Structure 1
Amino acid sequence: MPHLVILYTPNLDQPTDLGGLDMTALCRALCDAMLSVRDESNRQVFPTGGTRVLAYPASHFALADGGAAGEAAGKGSDYAFVYMNVRMATGRSASVHQRVGEALKSCVQSRFAEQLAARPIGITVQIDEGHEVFDAKISSLHPLFNPA
């Protein structure tokens, strides 16, 4: 934990000159942004080995009015949407939640600047914190970042 899961409309899986985005590069940038966040004591908030970003195109989707308002505004009818949800364990301060949210928002605004200017697109960044009712971790990844 944390896990950032991205759901997006598959029309973003096209070359950038056609309004798409390199999702692998976005995932890397968001992971790096998460790893850069520090708490009030200047400690890294998220463990390097436990930070994951996953992106999935939606097989089926419908957005807003289907494109009529975009066409009328001269922005086109090819609407796109990105939903990002960070799930983290409990125990972090409200200040840390805000820092994480701002780091992700800044990264997303930078990465999507061209698309936001050129096409109708909606982006949501949401952070959820919750108490686990069961939490098992099996990993040979964490030891790489926690040497004895």
Structure 2
Amino acid sequence: MPHLVILYNSSLDRHVDMSALCRQLADTMLAQRDEFDQPLFPPGGTRVFAYPAPHFAIGDGGIAGRVANGIGEYNFAYLNLRMGRGRSEAVQQRVGQDLKATARAHFEPLLATYYVGVTLQIDVGAEVFDAKLSNIHPLFNRG
């Protein structure tokens, strides 16, 4: 953990490089520091996934979009970051602002032409069960 999951309408694939967005968001997460200037997230646990939704409904189905710009299509991207407890409120807010800025920069060209709703939420909480099996973390623990 942390894991950032992106759900988005599949038609965005025609306009947005989701792999690049995943990399940019992961880099933003890895650049985060805590109050003691220590890395906030472990490199081996930082993950960003993007899943296109092949079936979706948005608002009124795009009626306003057809009238306004001839596109007839609304778009969405829902970004949800889950991270464990122990980070201050100030750090959580800074992470949110930085991720929002990264998403804004990536989606800005699309927002100029299409209707897009982008939501970013951060969930922090205790897991009811948390098991890990990984040989990735040792790659980043080498001196």
Q: Is the 8 A contact 1:75 1:119 kept in 2?
A: no
Matched, 1:44 2:44: no
Q: Is the 8 A contact 1:75 1:118 kept in 2?
A: no
Identity of aligned residues (%): 56
Q: Deviations over 1:73-114 (max 9, x none)?
A: 226212110000000001110011111101110000000111
Structure-to-structure mapping, 1:99-110, within 5 angstroms: 99-110=94-105
Q: Which structure 2 residue ranges, 5 or more long, are not aligned?
A: none
**1: CA distance, partners of 2:121 / 2:73:** 24
Q: Which structure 1 residue ranges, 5 or more long, are not aligned?
A: 15-19
Q: Deviations over 1:4-60 (max 9, x none)?
A: 00000000111xxxxx11111110000000111111111111001100000000121
Partner of 2:2: 2
TM-score normalized by the length of structure 2: 0.96
Post-superposition, which runs of at least 4 consecutive aligned residues in structure 1 deviate over 6 A? none
> What SS does the aligned partner of 1:66 have?
coil
**2: CA distance, partners of 1:145 / 1:74:** 48
Partner of 2:58: 63
Letter of the 2:26 partner, please give it. Answer: C
Structure 1 residues 75 and 120, CA, compared in 2 at 3 Å: closer, same or farther?
farther
**2: CA distance, partners of 1:124 / 1:77:** 21
**1: CA distance, partners of 2:88 / 2:70:** 41
Partner of 2:118: 123
Task: Figure out how many residues of one structure are paired with residues of the other and give that number.
Answer: 143
Q: CA RMSD in A?
A: 1.1
TM-score normalized by the length of structure 1: 0.93
